[in-house]
Structures are given as C-alpha cells and as structure tokens.
Structure 1
Amino acid sequence: MTLDLLITGGTVVDGTGADGVRADVAVADGVIVAVGGVAAEAEAARVIDAAGKVVCPGFVDLHTHSDLTLLSAPEARSAVHQGVTTTVIGNCGLGVAPLPAGANVAAVRAAVGYLDLDPSVDWDWTSWSEYADTLAAARPSVNVAGLVGHLPLHAGVVGFEDRPAAERDLAAMAYLLAEALDAGAVGLSTGLMYAPLTFAGRAELVALAEVVADHDALFAWHLRDYGDDVLPAVQEALDVAAATGVRTQLSHLTAVGRRNWGSVAKALELIDTARDEGLDVAVDMYPYLAGNAPLSQRLPAWAQAGGEDAMRARLADADVVARIREAWSGQAVGWDEITVNSAPGAPEVVGWTVTELAASSGTDADTIAVDLIARFGNAVSMVAGGRDGGDLRAVLSHPASVIGSDGQALDLTGPTAEGNPHPRSYGTYARLLSEYVADGTLTLPEAIRKCTSGAAHRAGITDRGTITAGQAADIVILDAGRLADRATFADPRRYPAGVDTVIVNGEPTAGQGDHTGARAGHVLRAGTRDKGQRP
C-alpha cells in the first residue's frame, strides 16, 4: 500500500461517540483508506507520529457567519487553527444570495453589515450558484457548505417595509429558494430578530419551509426572541416544523436576562416533546456566556423598518427616540452587560460597555446606544452577556445538541483583523473539549461527536465527520493534555493551545500556530464530496 499520509500510534476518537482506540490512519488521494494496524505494511510519502495524542475528525462548524470573510481571508486562520475543517455559512438569515433581478444590492449589503468586514469585496453575483462559484474561486483552506439566507430572499422580493408577503411574493421567494437548493445549498436559515425578517409571518415561514422539506434540507432558526418570549419563539419554530415536516435546527439556544434563567430547560422539554412526536428537531450552541450581534438588534422592529438608511434617519426624530427609550426601559439585559466590539473607524468606542461610554461622555446609556446606531447602522456590533452557566450546560449536554461557533473565519492582519471579535471565532472547540469535558458536562468522545459527525449529519454532509475508511481525510491531531482556549474577550485573537495538526482533504494545513499555506477546501454543494468544487 502506497500512501500520501500515514498517522501512527494515536488514540483515534472516531467521531461516532465511541471510546478512543489505538490505531493508525492511512490517507491517499484526500480520502481515509484504512484505520487500524496498517503501519507495518504501508509506505507513505509522509508519516506523522501521533503517539500520546488524540486523532479525531476535523470539526464541522454548523453555525458560522463567514460568508464574506472567506473571500477576504481564505486561509480561514481563526477557524482552521482551532481544528475546523468544514464550515456552514448563511446562518441567522444573514446570507448574501440569492437576489432577484433588480434587487437593491446596496440595501441588502447594509442589512447584513454584520458579515461585511471588507468593503473591497465586490458583490458580482445574484444567484446562489454564482456565489458558490465565487467561494470556490477563492480557494479557502476549509470546506464550505451553505445555507440560503432568508434576508436576501425577503428583502429582494418583499422589501424592507413592515408588510406581509403577498401570494406572488411567496411564489417568487419559493422559486429562488428552490433554485438555490437545486444548485447545492444545504438548507435555509431565518433570523427573526433582524429587520426586515422581523416582519415575516407564519404564512411566509410555512411556504419556505415546505420548499426546504421537499428537498429534505435543513431549516435553521435564529428565533424571534431569546429573552422574555423565548418559549413562544421556540414554539413558533416547532409549529412550522409540525405543519411541514421540515428538518429543523434551533440556533444558539439560550435565554438572556437573569429573570429568564431556567427557560432553557423548559425549551428543551418542548423540543423533547416534538422529537417524541416524530419531528426532526435539534439545537446548537457554543460554550460562552455572551453572544455577539449588531447593536441595532436592540431596536424595536418598527424602528428598523425601511432598511438601514431609513432606520438611521429615523433616529434623528426626538419623538422616535422617546418611543425607543420607553421600549428599552424594561429590557432584560442592561447596558452594563453590553460591550461595543466593532465600530468601523471608531476604535475609541471598542471594548467599552455602553454604560462606561455614557459615563465617560457625561450622558446616559440610551443616548449612547442611539448615537452609535445612527452613526454606524448595522455595522456597529456588541457582545451581550446576561446568560446562565446552568442553561449553557443543559444545552451542551442534551442529546439533540451539536456545536456551532456562531463565529467568523478571521485573520490576524487585513480587513478581517479590525475590531475586537468574540473569542468564539478563535477558541470554541478548544474551550468545549477542555473546560466542558474537564467539568464532566461531556465525555471527550461525546464532545467530539457533537463537533463532528453530529454537526455533519444536521447539515446533510455524508462524507465527513468520522475517522472511517472512505471518508474525506479531514483530520485533527490534539494534544489533549495541553488543549486550552487562550482567546479572551479582552484579547480574542489568540489561537488555542494543543491543536497539533489540522488536515483538510488530506493536506496538512495548520497546527501549533502555524499555517502551511494549503488551501485544499471544497465548496460542498448539497453537502457531498462528489458535488464539491475545487478549482
């Protein structure tokens, strides 16, 4: 047997949830060809001694926002250095394709400003297939599977105003969605806290879910609320699942605000009931007690109607601001729990809570928040706390949960190096596999399953996620004793310790803080390797 790569002497934790076993792993032509005692009879162009290390599948990050950053930073350093070999983009409804002919691309781009870290990226696509071709041409270091974002569908067809979709609008969105799924998108995501999706009603959600169900694809939900109304928001998603039979993923399930702690357990009970009734419902989460989103998400839906320009102009109206202040008076998460982590061209506000910025300016926190949104629109983002560790552990340990970082593929230099990103973009997997294994929340094999085959299964990816013969050779070698998340909220751009080697499609790509320069990732159309694209 002549091999491209042979990994010897490691403890293989194969991604199925089974305990680790000592085994060699043989790779040829980007595929695992044998697992077991193969070293004695094999010749390999390269041999890696993994004695004392854990050999596991590359991590499949089910929930990311790297739609545009992969075009600016295709080496995907923040992702690959933590062991991610496949990333699923298009989450929370914030995709960048498809767009109907004549759509206002600039307005859609502003609406998804959270994704848009590099103004030099030229949006020269309209269809999802054209966008996927653009990604493939960028030659990323990781594999990429894509969800269709609900926002470009809705904004491109219905617009940004608060109005229900007409029958012709539903038909147009359904057509665009079906076309994208036929071209290889792995599902649809919605984000019902992001305007104009805040105005999407049940008829629209059901109509799109039916298209997704017809393609046996995944419908991922950023729920309508994660605070006081998290349970009705969960029930809304479950009702659509029941009406259509669509495979459903509840994204980053949490409950924010101390008064809502404990709601996650009730949400999981609702999910368990739905699963017992035969619905295919699962959840994902990342192992941090703070989230990251545009600051504009704090505004009432009515204040965001009409698109970013209308929203920013509206904030100059004193009567409007008074109504916003009234809405904010009972918010579950206080301004002292919200830190500005990105504001283009204004580094002086980054890293401070809204309360701290107000104190230093001699004004109040509501005024600061309104001013920031008026100045920067959807591009100013926040890290928001107010979460409970018990809720987090309940989700991480639930049998229906998998892991998604909710991060972005970033670099240490260039356009994606601006601001102060959430540390999840650098440390999610090391944090889970060290801290939440050490405290007994998960065993190492189960934690790895949630990061690999479990996540791949949710996205419909069939050829990755386990260390078995015939699977794509996406492999991570971990020094489990050294494994640690070194990224912090104050200093987030730090690679984890203990990630020794990351292999993508048989190509050693990163490890121990170094990137080989390999860019062997595929664009996974319809989630399968045979439909992958690599120029």
Structure 2
Amino acid sequence: METFDHVSMEPHSTLLLQGGTVLDGTGAPGVVADVLVRDGVVAAIGPGLRADGPVFDATGRVVCPGFVDIHTHSDLTLLSDPRALSKVHQGVTTEVVGNCGLGVAPLPPGADVAAIRQAVSYLDLDLDPAVALDWHDLPGYLAAVAAARPSLNVAALVGHVALHAAVCGFDDRPAGSDELDRMCGLLADALDAGALGLSTGLVYAPLTYVREEELTALAGVIAAAGAVFTWHVRSYDDGLLDSVAQALRVARATGCRTQISHLAAVGRRNWGTVRRALDLVEAANADGLRVGVDIYPYLHGNAPLSQLLPAWAQEGGASAWAPRLRDAGVRERIVAGWADRPTGWEEITVSWTSRGDADPVVGRTVADLGGAGAALDLLAELGAGVMMTAGGRSEDDLRAVLTHPDAVVASDGLALDPGGVTGAGMPHPRSYGCFPRYLERYATDLPDAIRRCTSAPASLIGLPDRGVLRTGAPADVVVFDPAAIAGPATFTAPHQLAAGIDLVLVGGAPTVERGAHTGRRAGRVLHRTRGTTG
C-alpha cells in the first residue's frame, strides 16, 4: 500500500480512500466502502475499487464530506494566514465569511474605511499591517482572497455594517429613501457578483440604529435573488423572543430565506426562552417559510466588549464614543443602565486587547479587574480593541438547539494560526475545536450529526454542491477516528489544534494528513449561482 504526503501526491490525479465507514452527509446510515477521488472530484463510491495512484487505509475510520462552517469571521485572518490552520485541522473545508453584519465589502468610494474597520474590529484580531482594505466592492475582496490561495473554500455574505455605514455613516437616524435605494443597489451588485446573501448584526453600531424599514427593503432584494438573510438578532438576553419575532416578521413580509445565527439565551433568568424561540421558527416553517438556526457547542460567547454599551453611547463610531466614556455623566448613565444586567461581571473575561499578549488584563474577569468602572476604563482607552468571552448560558438550552431538526452546527469562530500573528490572546476555543467537540460530546446519532455539519448547513446557505459525498461532487473529504476525535482547546488554553483527524482533502488535494498541514492550499472562492435556493 502506497502512503503519500503533499510531495508524493503531486504527480497523481487519483487517490483511493480504502475501507472506511462512509457517511455521505445526508443522514443516511454508514456503509463500509472505498472512495475513489480523481481530478478533484469523487469518481466512485463502493466496495473493491481500484486506483492507479496512492491508497489511504481508512479502515476503522469515518469518511465523510468536509465540514461546511456557514458562520465564521475569518474575513481578514485568511488574508493574514491563508493556511487556516485552526479550521482545516478540525475538518472544515468550506467557510462562509461576512457574518453578523461584520463583513468588509462593499467599501465604495467615499466610505470611511478606517471607521468601518474599527466597527468590524472583531475580524481584526491579528492587527496585521500587511492586510489593507484596499478594495471597493465584493469582487475586489474575493479577488484578494483568491490571490491569497487559502487552504479551504471561501464564500461570502455581504456585511450590513459596511453596507449601511458606507451610505449612512454612524449617526442615530433612519436611512432616507435615496440612501435605501443606494444600499439596495450595492447589495444587488454584490449578489450578482456571487455573494450568498446578506448578514446583519443588530447589536453592532451603526446597525443598532437601523429601522425595520431598512431591514425589509434589503430583505426584498435578497428574496428576489433567491439568496439568504442571516441574522445576529437585536438581543440574546431579555429581548430574545422579540428579536427572533422581528427576523420572522421580515421573512414573512418578503419571503426571504432566513438564518438565525448562534441561537442562545443569555442570563439565568432567560433560560428556557430558547425553546419558545424554536417554537416561533417551527411555526414559520409550517407556514411555508424557510428558516434555519445554528449554534456552536459551548456555553460561552465571544464578542467585542463594546457590545455591552448602550446604543446611544456608541453613536459616531469608535473614534467618537471611546473618548465619550471619560465623561463622568456618561459613565454614570451607563453604569445605571448596567445595574440590571442579566449576567454578572464575573461571567465576562477579557480575551484579547490591542495591547498584545503581555497585557495583564487578558484572561481576567471584569469583576476581578474592578467591575463596571474597569470595563469603561478599558473601552475609553482602547475603544474597539477589547474582546471578551461571556457566559450565562444553559446546557439544556444548548442541547435543545443542537437536537432541533432545523438546527445546524457553525463555529462563529476565525481561522487562526496558533504560532503566528493570529495566535494572540485567549480567543474562544470554538475557532479550534467546534466540530470535533460537537462530534465527541453531543453526537448521539453520528449520521445525523455529520449531516448537521455538512449537507444541512450547505443547503441552508445556498451551496448545494458542498457537504455531500457522492459521485461527481467536489472531493472535500474528512477521514477521522470516531474514538479519538476531540477538540482539546479550552478557554484558558485555546490555541490547541483538534485531535483525531487523519486526513482532510480540499478539492481532492491532501491538506491535513495525520495531524500535520501538508502545505497544499487548494481552496477556491465559491460564488452563488443566481436563483440558487439551496
């Protein structure tokens, strides 16, 4: 039997994965079979296949489609390090960027690019000066991604922050009719250029000021194109049900396909609300809408610390609101509003700051640092340059989502390099271990669990040729040991690559083999075909 690495594989157009348990991504039971890969696609699946190239012994392993991560924030880290180590090592072969409204296109002439980059600071954890936002539209951004030659496939949503801020700025006011028309035009152009849809993030300024009229107008463009509208809803704590209801109201008004991102309820007093939110989703789907939800298998979230600020305090962008936080009256008003927070400061940990890994506040809770006053001090000094992990979630709620028929798994993480510029701070471990952790801890029905990581998210987002293992499909394939798969990354030691992944193929190219990246970067930029419904 011939083994291979990325050098010996180069001359061969075929590869045989022999004797593994094939789970095709549809939820069907596994079968022991061989998988023949030829010229980047799956050429055959069945017993007793033969090949004129290398053979990989998959006996005792699961062979399945590569994981399709439809909710990621790797927009800029992929340009900094296109190997996407934290993702391909856990079996991800396709990522969708531009989520939570935090995309980096369009940036039309006249847009305040510096202010927009601050507003989407969650994408910029590496602070890599070599990554410049020097494009004006989605084709320009996707060209930059393609030129970087990523290790995995990349598709993009249009981020609502850039779209709105480029046209309306950062003030608390409704968009005028001409501005709505311009935003709809820019969105339509991006969809024509291959964007999968639009994402919004209504906790991020200036989207905190967006009226439902704007959401409905943009959703109409999405519906007409057969694309998807993904929502980081306005509230995941006390206002969760009202926020989900708003997304469904817009879906009913326009008929647009809708994805509710990282569905969770924050704060003990809100535990159980997730089940009621799922009831709303079920009712919408029963009425003929297409609404999906996604979640990651952890009880903590991750976001900029500034997300905790009230909307009024963030007006004008980070360069305006950060100095504002030094005003005694402003601080007093914010602290008063925080008095009834659903989570305590002991549940909020500083995970990264723009001061670097040597910053002594990284890894400490806000309570330990001094509470509300300390949080305001950090934000006044560093503005958007402070990230947090936040708890206050229920295991029962998490399981309710993970087992719901309309739910899929998505990381909400970033492609990171543990030894490089993107390996700073103490990021959420989901960037390294989302899918292995889910399969290790929550997969009671392995074929269905694989479906939730592959064909189901691909279908929801509008990539119907991904996430399936069938003849003629792109050869994005993962081979893993079901007894050894694990995500060892933790909140205190997050920069640990996944375990138990024996082989990852991207477009037929061996990208990870037995725990090591081969150096191959065969990922492609994926475009939506107009009219695709998933």
Asked if these proteins are the same fold (TM beyond 0.5), I'd say yes
Query: C-alpha displacement at 1:413, in angstroms?
Result: 2.4
Deviation at 1:512, TM superposition (A): 3.4
Residue 26 of structure 1 contacts residue 38 of structure 1 at CA under 8 Å; is this kept in 2?
A: no
Whether the aligned pair in 2 keeps the contact of 1:81 and 1:511 (CA below 8 Å) is: no
In the TM superposition, residue 295 of structure 1 has moved relative to its aligned partner by: 0.2
Q: Which amino acid aligns with 2:418?
A: L
The CA deviation string for residues 95-150 of structure 1, in whole angstroms up to 9 with x for no partner, is 00002221110000011111112341111101111100000000000000100000
Equivalent in 260, 273, 277 of residue 263 of structure 1: 273
- Which of the residues 381, 384, 399 maps onto 2:405? 399
Rounded to whole Å, the distance in 2 between the matches of 1:287 and 1:163 is: 37
Q: For residue 504 of structure 2, what is the aligned residue in structure 1? A: 502
Partner of 1:243: helix, strand, or coil?
A: helix
Distance (Å, rounded) in 1 between the aligned partners of 2:468 and 2:529: 15
Residues 340-379 of structure 1 correspond to what in structure 2 (within 5 A)? 340-346=350-356, 347-358=359-370, 365-379=371-385
Q: Deviations over 1:433-458 (max 9, x none)?
A: 01102xx4xx1111100100001101
1:432 aligns with 2:432: no
String of CA shifts for 1:343-366, please: whole Å, max 9, x gaps: 0115211111001122xxxxxx11
Equivalent residue, structure 2, for 1:114: 122
**Is the Cα–Cα contact under 8 Å of residues 476 and 507 in structure 2 kept in the other structure?**
yes
Superposed CA RMSD: 1.2
Match of 1:129 in 2: 139
User: How do 1:241-390 residues align onto structure 2 when only pairs under 5 Å count?
Assistant: 241-346=251-356, 347-358=359-370, 365-390=371-396
Deviations, residues 293-340 of structure 1 (Å, cap 9, x unaligned): 000000000000100011101101110000100110000011000000
Identity among equivalent positions (%) equals 57
**How many Å apart are 1:233 and its aligned residue?**
0.2
| Alpha-carbon distance between aligned partners in 1 of 2:54 and 2:425, rounded to the nearest angstrom | 40
Aligned 8 A contact 1:147 1:189 in 2: yes
Q: Which residue of 1 aligns with 2:90?
A: 82
1:202 Cα deviation from its structure 2 partner: 0.7
SS in 2 for 1:98: coil
- In 2, Cα distance between the equivalents of 1:269 and 1:14? 30
> Which segment is superposed worse, 519-528 or 340-349?
519-528
Aligned residue in 1 for 2:190? 180
User: In 2, Cα distance between the equivalents of 1:63 and 1:270?
Assistant: 22
CA distance in 2, matches of 1:377, 1:511: 41
Amino acid at match of 2:367: T
| Structure 1 contact 3–43 (Cα < 8 Å) conserved | no
Q: Deviations over 1:367-423 (max 9, x none)?
A: 110011112211210000000000000000000001110000000222211111100
Unmatched 5+ stretches in structure 1? 359-364, 531-535
Equivalent in the alignment of 1:460: 462
Aligned to 2:419: 413
| Structure 2 counterpart SS, 1:95 | coil
Structure 1 CA distance, aligned partners of 2:324 and 2:489?
A: 38
Q: 2 CA distance for matches of 1:372 and 1:44?
A: 61
Distance 2:416 2:51 in 1: 37
**Whole-angstrom CA distance in 1 between matches of 2:464 and 2:291:** 18
CA contact under 8 A between 1:25 and 1:38: conserved in structure 2?
no
**What stretches of structure 2 of length at least 5 have no aligned partner?**
1-11
CA distance in 1, matches of 2:222, 2:128: 32
Distance in 2 (alpha carbons) for counterparts of 1:50 and 1:110: 46
Find 2:487's aligned residue among 485, 488, 491. 485
Label 1:407 to 1:527 Cα distance change in 2 as closer, same or farther (>3 A): farther
Q: Matched residues in 1 for 2:190 and 2:76: separation?
A: 18
Counterpart Cα distance in 2 of 1:349 and 1:270: 41
How many Å separate the matches in 2 of 1:133 and 1:522? 11
Shift of 1:38: 4.4
Deviation at 1:5, TM superposition (A): 0.7
Higher share in helix = 1
**Residue matched to 2:211:** 201
The corresponding residue for 2:517 is: 515
Does 1:95 find its partner at 2:127?
Answer: no
Counterpart-to-counterpart distance in 1, 2:382 and 2:461: 34
Structure 2 residue matching 1:415: 3-state secondary structure: coil
The residue number in structure 2 matching 1:35 is 45
Amino acid at match of 1:118: L
Matched position secondary structure for 1:518: coil
d(CA) in 1 for partners of 2:113, 2:529: 27
* TM superposition shift of 1:464: 1.4
Mapped to 2, the partners of 1:118 and 1:474 lie a distance apart of 31
Distance 1:106 1:43 in 2: 53
Within 2, Cα distance between the matches of 1:527 and 1:33? 24
Distance between the aligned counterparts of 1:55 and 1:305, measured in 2?
Answer: 50
The two structures have a TM-score, normalised by structure 2, of 0.95
Decide whether the 8 Å contact of 1:486 with 1:495 is kept in 2: yes
What's the offset of the Cα at 1:174? Answer: 0.3
Q: 2:223 aligns with which of 197, 207, 213?
A: 213
CA distance in 2, matches of 1:68, 1:482: 32
Change (3 A) 1:60 1:357: same
Work out the CA distance in 2 between the residues paired with 1:123 and 1:90.
Answer: 14
Shift, 1:43, TM fit: 2.4
Q: Distance in 2 between matches of 1:310 and 1:43?
A: 63
- Give the deviation of 1:3 after TM superposition: 5.4
1:496 is paired with a residue whose SS is coil
Given the superposition, is the C-alpha separation of residues 527 and 21 from structure 1 closer, same or farther in structure 2, using an over 3 Å criterion?
A: farther
Contact 1:3 1:26 in 2 (8 A): no
Residue 44 of structure 1 aligns with an amino acid whose one-letter code is: D
Relative to structure 1, is the Cα distance of residues 79 and 527 closer, same or farther in structure 2, using a 3 angstrom cutoff?
farther
Contact 2:80/2:128, CA 8 A, preserved across alignment: no
Amino acid at match of 1:501: L
Contact 1:56 1:448 in 2 (8 A): yes
Does the Cα contact within 8 Å between 2:39 and 2:508 map onto a contact in 1? Answer: yes
Q: TM-score with structure 1 length normalisation? A: 0.95
